[in-house]
Amino acid sequence: MASRNEMKVFLAFAQYHAFTHARCAGLDQEQALSLASQAMQQFARQHAHALPSEFPLFFFRILQTAIRHHRRLTRWHQWLPSMLAALIPPRTENTELGPLETIVVVPRAATEAMETWSAQPEITYIAHAALCILPPLQREAFLFIAWEHLDFATAAKVMACSKRRVRLNVNRAYKTLAAIFAQKGLASAESSTDSTLLPIAAYFESILSHENHDSDAPVFDQLAQASAAALSEHQRRVAIPDSRSEQWASFRVHHTLLLRRIGMGVLTLAVLVLALYGNTLSPTADTSADDIQVLASVVPLDTLLKDNFKELLHD
C-alpha cells in the first residue's frame, strides 16, 4: 500500500500529464481540467490500496477510459449535425490553409540547445497540432510509449489492447509525425524513414514539459487543488479495508483482454446454440413430426381420442 507521500508525488506528476493527454485528445481547457480532476478523484477512490509501481497503470487506464467516453459522447453529439450538413452541399469550397500549413519554423542551428529551440511557440504549436491530427489510437500509443515511458505490456493494459497493436500504432504515429516534422523542416527527411525515429520522441519530451506552457499557469492552480482533493480522498479510503470492488477493479485492469475474450466467446456460443437448437429450447416443443404421423395413420381421430384407448388395444 502506498504512503501519503508516495501518492502526493504521483498526483503531482499525474495532474499535468492527465491535463496534457486530454488537451491532445481535442478537449478544451475547461473540459481537460474537469476530466483530469475526475480521473484523479476516481483513481484515489478506486485504487487506494494499490502498490506505487502500479499507479501509472491504474491512473492512465482511468484517464484513457474517461477520454474515450468523452470522445464517444462528442461523436454522438456531432453525429446529427454532421448528417444534416452532409445532406446540404456546401456552396463554396474552403480553400483556406490551416495553421499547420502556414506556420514557418526556423531550423535549429547546430549550436542551439534543444530546450531553447523547442520553446518557440511555433514549434510547440506544430507539435500539438501534429499530435491532434493523429488518429486517437496512434496518439494514445505514442504518448504512453514516447512520453510516459510505459513499457509495451503496461501500455497494452492501459489501452485495453494487445502489445502488437500498441507497437503498430506507435510505429505509425512515429512515421506520421516524422513526415510532418520533415515537411516543416524540424527534422531531416531521412528521419521519416528511420524506424527508431528517436528525434521525434526527444522533441516531444522537451515540448510537452510544462515549463513551456506559461499560458496554462492558472490551470496549474486548479489542477493542484484537484490533486489535493484526490489526496484527501485517498487518505479517507486508505483507512477503510481493501474492498471487493477495489480488488475487482484491479483484476479488470490486469485481465481486460482475457475477460473480453471470455465474454465474446460466451456470447458467440450463446448465439450459435440459439441458432442451432432454438427450436428445441423453445417452451413449446415442436410436435409436428408426430402430428403428421397421427394424421397419416389409418386409425381414425375419434378412436385416438377415446379415453379407453388402451383397453381397445388389448381387446
Partner 1 sequence: MTRAAGARTLLTMCALLATVGVVRASPISPTWDQLDAHQQTVLWSLSDEWNRYAPSNKHKILNIVQYYDKLSPEQQFRVQTKLKAWAGLSQEQRDLARANWKKLQALPAAKRKAALSRLTENQAVDTP
Of 104 and 296, which has the nearer Cβ to partner 1? Answer: 296
* Residue 75 binds to partner 1 (criterion: CB under 8 A): no
Q: Which candidate, 177, 198, 182, places its Cα nearest to that of 105? A: 182
Q: Which of 71, 108, 128, 165 binds partner 1 (CB under 8 A)?
A: 165
Q: Which of 93, 214, 302, 311 binds partner 1 (CB under 8 A)?
A: 302
Q: Which of 94, 283, 305, 311 binds partner 1 (CB under 8 A)?
A: 305
* Residue 83 binds to partner 1 (criterion: CB under 8 A): no
Q: Which of 92, 95, 284, 311 binds partner 1 (CB under 8 A)?
A: 284
# residues near partner 1 by CB under 8 A? 45
Positions 215 through 244 that interact with partner 1 (CB under 8 A): none
Positions 109 through 138 that interact with partner 1 (CB under 8 A): 137
* Residue 102 binds to partner 1 (criterion: CB under 8 A): no
Shortest distance (Å) from residue 71 CB to partner 1? 13
* Residue 272 binds to partner 1 (criterion: CB under 8 A): yes
Q: Which of 92, 94, 215, 293 binds partner 1 (CB under 8 A)?
A: 293
Shortest distance (Å) from residue 4 CB to partner 1? 38
Q: Which of 1, 12, 198, 271 binds partner 1 (CB under 8 A)?
A: 271
Q: Where on the chain is the footprint of partner 1 (CB under 8 A)?
A: 137, 161-162, 164-165, 257, 260-261, 264, 267-268, 271-272, 274-275, 278, 284, 286-307, 309-310, 312-315
